[in-house]
Structure 1
Amino acid sequence: MGNIIYIIGEILKYDFMMKAIVAGSLIAISSSFLGIFLVLKKYSMIGDGLAHVSFATVAMALLLNQSPILMSIPIVAVASIIILKLTETNNIDGDASIGLISSFSVALGVLISSLSNGFNVDLFSYLFGSILVISNFELILSVILSIIILLLIILFYNSLFAITYDENFAMTMGINVKQLNYLISILISITVVLGIRVVGTMLISSMIIFPTVTALQLSTSFKNTIIISIIVSVLSVLLGIFISFIYDLPTGATIVIVNAICFVISLIIGKIK
């Protein structure tokens, strides 16, 4: 136990580790809050679809020598709105519209990367995460946007809860369902973009889905599910960062593996209960 405390103390002496912990924890909390609304609405794969969109925007930003995060946020937000529009006005199922946008985005990203002589180191780090080299600007942006996301979720919590379980009932209560669906889509697009530094565009959807489905195995209450999801998500990020640093492993992949282990444990506990 003393050795573990000593190792943690040594790790926390590094400035880049502190930045990784702060940014990773905030994004974990944001993704956990949004995850339950997406999973229960059976719309969880939108995170994966928007992650593919962010791949194209990152490739475009690196080609134009611009900030990948600043360029990705508005474009990914527009893509999330397009997915909703396709679902609402063209009788296309949600998963189909996500598939259309994500496959097009991957193809576009590959074409753009080929213009810059293929997959360079920078693009690879955005594909699979590089939280240990997060910049001060990315940290500040993550803090600001994460706080905005949390405040909006808290402000519209009751309405979001209502549309998650029954949109028709929410409409009869006078709730603007369409507006809130757009709000969720924009918030998830921002979370996806922020998360590409943590686990990368290819793995960010796991931070949205894993903690929520893990929490659902252990809780029957909506609020308790959110709380457990946040605990699991933050714990997975912290353990993933420490383990990857100690054993020189890819941080993003390690965080996802820890999330997967937590899910398996929750399944076992659920079976026992």
Structure 2
Amino acid sequence: MNDLFATLGFYLEKPFVINALIVGVLIALCSSLLGVTLVLKRYSFIGDGLSHVAFGAMAIAAVLGLTNDMPLVLTITVVCAVLLLRMGKNAKIKGDAAIAMISVGALAIGYLLMNIFNTGSSNLSGDVCSTLFGSTSILTLSTFDVWMCIILSVIVVLFFVLFYNKIFSVTFDESFARATGQRAGLYNLLIAIVIAVIIVVSMQLVGSLLISALVIFPALSAMRVFKSFKSVTICAAIVSVVCALIGLFTSILAGTPVGSTIVAADIAVFALFSLIGAVTKRNA
């Protein structure tokens, strides 16, 4: 046990580990805040769809030889978030079909572009795997990545705090919100844009295919025990941050992939909360 703490203390002195902890906690917090809204509005898979779009955007950036792909990826992902919202209201193309169409199309085109054009990498399969499932090394986080994550996370948290009542209204009864004069369409659009921002920020750490887990599992775990929107949101935020820390520390000590380890921690907590919820309901 002493050796374990000594090893952990050694790694905590390294700047790249501190950077990974900062980014991991912020991503987990932001994902959980809007995760409850997405689950309740049955938009859970919008995160999965936008993550595939982000992968396609990263492929385009690689083909163009951009050293900093964040602006391009963020722009394309936000635009597609708006398109998904608009297409979801189209009677001919339902929301789930729109998500499937854009996500699968972006994933296929992105991988096709990376194969057709020489992106300058000698390990294409490794690059794709790293992008889809997260980097196997937390050394890949640059100072720019950390500061960009901090800035965007502050924007996301401020948005949630300032528009909490509006988010609550459009989450539970969008028709009533419209009837009372609230601009429900605008707030739905803002939610979609913020989710796109979270997806792009999360790509570096957990990968495009695992981002949805950060959005869905903490919210579902909290719903097993709590019932009110506020309680579920607070619990989801705590669960998400704790699972991120557990996953990061386990990854550091055991050498496992960061993203997959965090998601495994989320799954374990979900199972625990499901058991607690079942016992509580039985005894009620």
Superposition TM-score tier, normalisation by shorter sequence: over 0.9
2:112 alignment partner in structure 1: 111
Give 1:3 deviation, angstroms. Answer: 4.9
Q: TM-score, normalised by structure 2?
A: 0.92
1:70 alignment partner in structure 2: 71
Alignment coverage as a number of residue pairs: 273
Matches within 5 A, 1:36-115: 36-66=36-66, 67-115=68-116
8 A Cα contact 1:58 1:123, kept in partner: no
After the TM superposition, which of the residue ranges 160-169 and 84-93 deviates more from structure 2?
84-93
Q: Deviations over 1:49-108 (max 9, x none)?
A: 001101101111122222232211110001011111112234422111101111111111
Mapped to 1, the partners of 2:125 and 2:59 lie a distance apart of 10
2:151 alignment partner in structure 1: 144
Q: Deviations over 1:161-199 (max 9, x none)?
A: 001000011112211011011000000001001111111
Listed as ranges, the gaps of 5+ residues in structure 1 are none
1:229 alignment partner in structure 2: 236
Structure 1 residues 64 and 120: CA distance shift in structure 2, 3 A: farther
1:177 paired with 2:187, answer no
Matches within 5 A, 1:203-214: 203-214=210-221
After the TM superposition, which of the residue ranges 194-203 and 60-69 deviates more from structure 2?
60-69
Mapped to 2, the partners of 1:2 and 1:271 lie a distance apart of 37
8 A Cα contact 1:59 1:123, kept in partner: no
1:193 alignment partner in structure 2: 200
Which amino acid in structure 2 is aligned with residue 43 of structure 1? Y
Q: Deviations over 1:83-139 (max 9, x none)?
A: 111122344221111011111111111211112358354443222112612110011
SS at match of 1:92: coil
8 A Cα contact 1:54 1:76, kept in partner: yes
2:16 alignment partner in structure 1: 16
Give 1:227 deviation, angstroms. Answer: 1.0
Mapped to 1, the partners of 2:272 and 2:142 lie a distance apart of 34
Mapped to 2, the partners of 1:9 and 1:70 lie a distance apart of 36
Mapped to 2, the partners of 1:27 and 1:215 lie a distance apart of 18
Q: TM-score, normalised by structure 1?
A: 0.96
Mapped to 1, the partners of 2:72 and 2:127 lie a distance apart of 15
Mapped to 1, the partners of 2:225 and 2:9 lie a distance apart of 32
8 A Cα contact 2:89 2:95, kept in partner: no
RMSD of the TM alignment (CA)?
A: 1.5
Identity of aligned residues (%): 38
Mapped to 2, the partners of 1:233 and 1:63 lie a distance apart of 35
Mapped to 2, the partners of 1:228 and 1:162 lie a distance apart of 20
Which amino acid in structure 2 is aligned with residue 128 of structure 1? F
1:271 alignment partner in structure 2: 278
Which amino acid in structure 2 is aligned with residue 201 of structure 1? S
8 A Cα contact 1:25 1:234, kept in partner: yes
Mapped to 2, the partners of 1:270 and 1:7 lie a distance apart of 36
8 A Cα contact 2:8 2:253, kept in partner: no
8 A Cα contact 1:196 1:204, kept in partner: yes
1:125 paired with 2:126, answer no
1:31 paired with 2:36, answer no
